[in-house]
């Protein structure tokens, strides 16, 4: 006699135990959920960190698609402020080294993960969590696959697609790779990304980055300890095979993040913030209307700042609604931002020109100040 499907499932989602309550579903839908989530089930029944209840009234495919998003949402919420949550696919070597695959929507994360995970262990096609010491939390959710004739992505268990199980070793971050798929790439190659530009590139793919302790420092040191961010330029998914194999088979070219000194505390921590698309400012902007009068410029509160050179500064801020923005200031902008401690326009001009600036320079500074105010990095009172 075939046993009935279970009434609940406990799954591991980036280190968070999520209980899926199936009591309202039909036996057929319970079986569909059990099959789709087989790769993420955990036997640790010490208790759930979150509970998700699928909607009974939806068609099965729609229910499974919404369930996947709901579990992901609850896992990210529970891990908020603890791990670096990257919207990324991931595969692992037998020794536990993980390559995280980051890319914009349509960049081919699921396609690349699905192909690579037939050779390497499947970690996730959606989200991975990285602790400050480099430990990786897997999320072996069903893979969401676009299928002709279906209005929503279909959910497939890793095993049903022939993907490999996790190794026995502890998972640790080995590399983050930014996917850049284009028919214009004639040969597949890995290109290093500048450290400051790496933060800008990864911020839109990070959930609740600003809620982490020391977010910019932690992310930068994790990248430095794993040889930085690399951009994979390729045309087809099979072009990635050799690139990723070279990374996963080499274990002598990275340093464990735990051996790096602890970061300094942020200047003005903000507890509840997220990080959508970044903003970039530089000295090469077109001058705007000058900000004149006796008003004074003040720096807006920052979650954290991180200098990359004398004329480049990353600033992570939080807005009133809890959202955050990562800005990369360049040229004269960092000096103006640092000097804006209840300073007048004339004081700021002297701070960056030593009083020797000509009219064109003053107009350019006014333009930068206007952009800093517009971006919310400076206030005027």
Q: How does DSSP classify residue 23?
A: T
Task: Determine the pLDDT at residue 293.
Answer: 53
Task: Determine the pLDDT at residue 310.
Answer: 79
B/e letters for 144-177, b = 16+ CB within 10 Å, e = fewer, are beeeeeeebbebbbbeebebbeeeeeebbbbbbb
pLDDT grade for 150, boundaries at 50, 70 and 90 = confident
Q: Which domains does the chain have, with CATH numbers?
A: 8-259 (no CATH), 279-380 (3.90.930.60)
pTM over 0.75? The answer is yes
User: At CB < 8 A and 24+ separation, what contacts does 79-83 make?
Assistant: 79/14, 79/15, 79/16, 79/129, 79/137, 80/207, 80/208, 80/211, 81/208, 81/211, 81/212, 81/213, 81/271, 82/129, 82/131, 82/212, 83/14, 83/15, 83/129, 83/130, 83/131, 83/137, 83/212
* Residue 286, token pair as written in the block: 């077109």
Round the average pLDDT of the chain to a whole number and report it: 84
Instruction: Report pLDDT digits (tens) over 304-349.
Output: 999 998 789 999 987 554 456 899 999 999 999 999 999 999 899 9
Instruction: Report pLDDT digits (tens) over 199-250.
Output: 999 999 998 888 888 999 999 999 999 999 999 999 888 899 999 999 998 6
pLDDT grade for 267, boundaries at 50, 70 and 90 = very low
Q: Give the rounded percent of residues in the chain with a pLDDT score beyond 70.
A: 84
- Mean pLDDT lowest among 63-67, 158-162, 189-193, 268-272: 268-272
DSSP state letters, 130-186: E-TTSBEE---PPEEE--TT-SSPEEE-TGGGTPBPPPSSPPEEEEEEEEEE-TT-S
Q: Give the rounded percent of residues in the chain with a pLDDT score beyond 90.
A: 61
Task: Determine the pLDDT at residue 311.
Answer: 87
pLDDT grade for 108, boundaries at 50, 70 and 90 = confident
Task: Determine the pLDDT at residue 286.
Answer: 29
Task: Determine the pLDDT at residue 47.
Answer: 80
CA separation for the pair 70, 51 (Å, rounded): 10
Task: Determine the pLDDT at residue 60.
Answer: 93
Residue 104 has pLDDT above 90, yes or no: no
């Amino acid at each position: 006699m075939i046993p009935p499907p279970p009434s609940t499932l406990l799954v591991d989602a980036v280190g968070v135990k999520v209980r899926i309550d199936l009591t309202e579903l039909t036996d057929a839908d319970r079986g569909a959920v059990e099959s789709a989530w087989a790769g993420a089930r955990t036997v640790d029944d010490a208790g759930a960190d979150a509970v998700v209840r699928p909607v009974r009234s939806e068609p099965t495919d729609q229910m499974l698609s919404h369930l996947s998003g709901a579990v992901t949402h609850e896992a990210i919420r529970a891990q908020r402020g603890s791990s670096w949550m990257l919207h990324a696919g991931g595969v692992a070597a037998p020794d536990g080294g993980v390559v995280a695959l980051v890319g914009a929507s349509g960049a081919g994360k699921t396609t690349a993960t699905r192909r690579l995970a037939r050779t390497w262990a499947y970690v996730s096609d959606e989200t991975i969590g990285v602790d400050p010491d480099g430990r990786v939390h897997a999320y072996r959710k069903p893979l969401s696959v676009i299928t002709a004739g279906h209005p929503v992505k279909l959910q497939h268990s890793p095993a049903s697609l022939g993907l490999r199980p996790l190794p026995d070793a502890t998972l640790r971050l080995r590399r983050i790779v930014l996917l850049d798929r284009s028919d214009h790439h004639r040969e597949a190659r890995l290109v290093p990304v500048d450290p400051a530009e790496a933060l800008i590139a990864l911020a839109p793919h990070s959930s609740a980055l600003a809620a982490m302790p020391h977010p910019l420092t932690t992310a930068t040191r994790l990248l430095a300890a794993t040889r930085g961010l690399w951009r994979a330029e390729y045309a087809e998914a099979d072009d990635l095979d050799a690139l990723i194999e070279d990374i996963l088979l080499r274990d002598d070219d990275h340093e464990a993040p735990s051996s790096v000194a602890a970061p300094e505390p942020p200047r003005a921590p903000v507890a509840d913030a997220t990080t959508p698309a970044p903003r970039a400012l530089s000295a090469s902007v077109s001058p705007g209307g000058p900000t004149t009068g006796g008003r004074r410029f003040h720096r807006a509160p920052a979650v954290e700042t991180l200098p990359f050179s004398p004329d480049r500064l990353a600033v992570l801020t939080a807005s009133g609604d809890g959202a955050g923005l990562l800005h990369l200031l360049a040229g004269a902008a960092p000096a103006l931002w640092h000097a804006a401690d209840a300073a007048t326009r004339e004081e700021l001009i002297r701070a960056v020109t030593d009083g020797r600036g000509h009219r064109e320079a003053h107009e350019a500074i006014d333009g930068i100040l206007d952009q800093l105010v517009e971006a919310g990095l400076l206030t005027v009172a």
